[in-house]
Amino acid sequence: MTLRDRGTMKWTSIFLPEHVAELRRLKSEIDHAYVRNPAIDPEQWSDFESKIQYAYRTGMDCEIRYWRNWTAERVSGVIESVDPVGGSLRIDGVIVPFREIVWVALEDV
């Protein structure tokens, strides 16, 4: 005689239809609460690179929005350093990897 496990089937009989509906509703709310990471096309990234280089060389203030932990964060100030090998920059004490950047804007003085 072999022992046969029913897998997840053994747990589904415990849930009432109301429980299943509530779990689906909660999952839907959670999925909609977090915005998906926006895709950056190569042309837009080229524009970001130009603005980052200009701001770094001139010491101009800029605003960088980046994607971290399922939320969009924002930091403004002068770019302190750029690490092309490590793929990150430091602005206002915050290290931002290039892959997390979703928006760059130069601030008018």
- pLDDT given at position 16: 78
Q: What's the chain's average pLDDT? A: 85
Give me the pLDDT at residue 107, please.
Answer: 84
50 lies in some domain:
yes
Number of independent structural domains in the chain? 1
62 sits in which H/E element: strand 61-68
> What's the alpha-carbon Rg for the chain, to the nearest Å?
23
- Please report whether residue 5 resides in a domain: no
Question: Could you tell me the two tokens for 63?
Answer: 């605003």
Q: What's the confidence (pLDDT) of residue 98?
A: 92
pLDDT digits (tens, 9 = 90+) for 30-81: 776 666 677 888 999 999 999 999 999 999 999 999 988 878 899 999 999 9
Residue 75 falls within a domain, yes or no?
Answer: yes
- Residue 106 corresponds to which tokens in the numbers above? 């130069």
Residue 24 lies in a domain: no
Domain of 50?
Answer: 42-106
Residue 63 CB partners (closer than 8 Å, separation 6+):
74, 75, 76, 103, 104, 105, 107
CATH code at 77?
A: 2.30.30
